[in-house]
Structure formats: C-alpha cells, structure tokens
Structure 1
Amino acid sequence: MKKQEIPERVFPKAKDDAAAANQAKLLPQTADPAYRLAYDDRDFLLRDDLRPVRFQLELLKPELLLEEAGIGSTFVMYGSARIPPPENADAMVAAAATETQKKIAERLKAKSHYYQVARELAQLASGAPVSEDGKRQFVVCSGGGPSIMEAANRGARDVGAETIGLNIVLPFEQAPNDYVTPHLSFNFHYFALRKMHFLLRARAVAVFPGGFGTFDEFFELLTLIQTGKMAMLPILLYGREFWDKVVNFEALVDEGVVAPQDMDLFRFVETAEEGWQHVQDYYQRYSEKQWRKGRGEKK
C-alpha cells in the first residue's frame, strides 16, 4: 500500500480561529462584547466569577513553559529586597538623614555580604550537570526582584546559565532584575500560585535574612514538610545571628509547640561553599538510600 500522509489535526488552532473572528463583518451583533470568543475576551476573563479560571491559567502557564525549557529541578533562593550589594552599602549609610535611618542603614550594611554569598551560591548551583533525561538540574530561581534575589540571578548569569524569576504585581513598581533570563521571567497576580511554583520543582532552598515575605515563604515551606504535604529537601538558613535574634526557635521547642526534631528541617550555614556541600552531601545520602532500597536492604 502506498504510504499516505495523515493530517496532524483536523480542527483549526485556537489562535487561527481568534484571528478569523477578529475579521468578522462589522454588524451591530458582531460589535457587541457578547460576540467575542470567550478566550479572546479580556473583559470577560477579568470578571470576578472567572477567578478559578485565572487560578488555573496562572498554574499552567509557568508549568508548561518550564517543562518546555527542560527545567528538571530548581535551587530556590529567598531573601530581602532591601539588603544592598556591598559596593552600595556605604552610600546607603551616607544617605541616611536621621539617626534612626543611619542605624537601620548600618544594620543593612552589616548584612550586605550575603549579596555576594547568594551570588557565589548561585554560581556553584548553576554548575550542576544535566541529568540523563536531558533535564537541567538546580536551575537558580528567585523572586526576580532586587537585592538577594538579584544576587541569585546574577550568580547564575555569571557562569552563563539560565535563571528563573517569579515576579509579582504589587501596588508599587516591581520589575524583574536585569539578570533573569527573559523567557524564564514570569509575572503573577496570586501570591499563592507564585509560592506554589517556587516549590514544585525545588530540590534545594536557601533562605537569607529577610522580612515578612521571606518569613512567609520560609515558614510555609517548613509547614509543608512538617505536616508531610511535601518531601524533605535541603533547606539552608543563612545568617544564624540574624535568625536567632528575630526568631526564638528554641523557645518554640521549649513551649512544646514544635517538636525537637523539627529543628533538623533546616541547616544553619554561612558560606556558599558550605551550603552547596550540604546539598551535595544530602543527595549523596539520598542516592545511597535509594540504591539500598532497590537491593531490598533496610539500611
């Protein structure tokens, strides 16, 4: 039998139908918004009733594009949007107009070295090998904003690696930093969906000093693991002096509201090398455990 060509599809693509619909003859009926294709009607999609649809779209779009980009796993970095790069720290102090502002600027300056630590950690993570299935592993992912987030994306860019930014629409201006790879730069309306995408592919997380947003992301991650909704993964907590000052972890244990073993969910570290070594050691132990499991061994 002679080989025959089988058409790939028999229905037109949605974008082709949308283009055709926009060429419709202008009539009173076609001019009314009711005639627009539902998926091509912005006003319709932005109705309050369509919130569940927008949730689904915000879940699907980054997931599909990250899959198409061959992202197998991510190394997520959380941290403040206010800590300056070391080279800008002195200028921040000099610009302080009051004693209170100067004290705050001095404290931020004292944490400015974490910008460089985050940058170096991103450089190390971005050197992770591609897995056998061709997926890229430990692709650096940040919130896409300034400060620690910028340092993370910048470190990946330093070594020629692509890097992800998950930005969010805020009442004040919030633009992606210059180091996020353009086709991996995403913008969100819903905090909940943004936080979900931080963790869907995360296989390691570094948490640097930060404010409410960093606390929100860090403690939600701990809660997901503590409650068994998410598997364990390496969590690096940078800046023990900062964290011991702002969160009394031991008091939580003493008061009985968290278990002593919950303190093992994260590891205090200070340098990029120390953090990356912990991640490597963690997955070396994980690989050995899986190997033993495959052989039917208990330990």
Structure 2
Amino acid sequence: MGRMGAIYVVTGANSGLGFATAKALTDRGAHVIMGVRDGNKGREARARLTGGSSEVRVVDLADLDSVRAFADGIERVDVLINNAGVMGLPRTLSAQGFEMQFAVNHLAHFALTGLLLDRIADRVVTVSSTLHKQGRLNFDDLNAEHGYRHGTAYNQSKLANVVFGLELQRRLAETGSSLRSVLAHPGYAATSLQAKTQPGLYRTALLLGNRILAASADDGARPTVFAATDASVRGGQFIGPGGLGEMRGAPRVVKATPAAADPATARRLWSVSEEMTGVRYLSATRSGQVE
C-alpha cells in the first residue's frame, strides 16, 4: 500500500495529524480524499500538498446526515483512515443530540465505516489514543447527561474506538473477508487539537506539554501511516510509537487495555452504535444499511 494511485480517505485531513497523514501518503504517490468540515480550510491545506494527488470533500462528523452524504459520494477506496477527533469540549450535542466527543470520535466513524465497507479494498485504520486505557464505557449514560467531565468523555470515546476496531476485525475474520481492521495512536503529538480544548488548567497543561514533551504532528502521524500502508500489518493489531511510555518513537505493535478486548462489551457497544447511528452492518462484506 501507499503505492502510486492507491486511494485513501482521511477524515480531519486539513490540520494536525490528519494533514500530516495526508502529506505522507501523497508524498508516496497515493491519492487522498481529504474529509474536512470546512471546505475553505481544506483547500488551503490541499495547496500545501506537493506529491501524489488529492481532493477535498466536506463532511461534518457532528452530523450523521453529512456522514451519509459524504459516503454516498465515494465510489472506491483502498484504505479508510478514521482520524478526525475533538477533545476536551464543554458538554455539547451533535446534530442528532449525542454528546459531541462520543458522536464525532466514535459514532461518526462507526457509521462511515459501515456505509463504505463494501467499497473498501484493503483495510480500515481507526486512530485512538493512549488515553483509551483510562476510559470506561458508561452504557447507562453514554450521552454524559449526569456529571459531565470533558476528560472522562474523551477517554470513553477513545476506548470506544479501540473496542470498535477490534470487534470489526472479529466480524471480518468470521466471514473470511480479506479486509483488515487496524488501530493506531500517535503517542503525545503537538497538534491543534489540544489548543481547541475547553479553557482552563487542563488546556494549559496540554499546551505546556506540547512545547516540552510532544513529538511533531509529522512524527505523531507515523504510526497511522505505518498502519495504513505496511504490508506486514495484520488485522486486529494496534500500532503506536515504540518509545518510552508509547509517547513518541518509531511505529511498533502495542497493546490495548484488556478491557477493550472483551467480546461482550464489544457486542453491546456495536448494538448501541447501530441504534444511535441507524447504520446496521448486515455482514462484514456488505455496506451498512441506513434505516
């Protein structure tokens, strides 16, 4: 993969890790469909890409209708990279009334993957975070209506990414599909994501960490690019930085928290996600159908 002419869809491709991923792929001669919320910012980002080819398509991951329209416009893709995310927001609701971090980080990508599944030729890469290890799926209050804490909600969404990625691989394997579901995380990378968090001590600490500890966005994107392009990567693997504490370093296979691998939890999250998005995966080799 990463070969001349291979087609990649990258969500959140106009800035941060998404842009670094798109740049690395186009530099290899690939074609990247840049999924962005703001078309003008997307076009500005695309103008900075010098290799391969690319195109900008608008998708608002906070609105499942926009996700469906985006998916409808894609005829074929080799690799889907579920990269976009939001972090540390005050409690905000998506267009469908779901807590924003869970809606954008998990539900939108669950829906997009299901809608595109029969058009994906090689693999799905879902980007999570080391913070998934601190997450807990609160099935009694996934919308965080009681005692909302932005960090808790973010960690939950990142755990949901991992649970989803592993369960997708189980379902693909059960049908004998050649598609792969792979996970990646950037470690600690300096991006605009931290700057967009809710003002306060949490954001101050993140921005200080960006200056002192964090890797660049280009380095943070390396695990995602490896997960999306390397022929040796197997379905169900989690790729992250190989340095101390998985903060930075060359890509390698890392471990998810054991809680993410529980099949019962995965089935429950899958069922809830289908209900919330209206996208049902009829099989691992056919696209999700919208009710």
**Structure with a larger share of its residues in helix:** 1
The structure, 1 or 2, with the larger RCO (C-alpha pairs under 8 Å, 6+ apart) is 2
User: What TM-score results when the alignment is normalised by the length of structure 2?
Assistant: 0.38
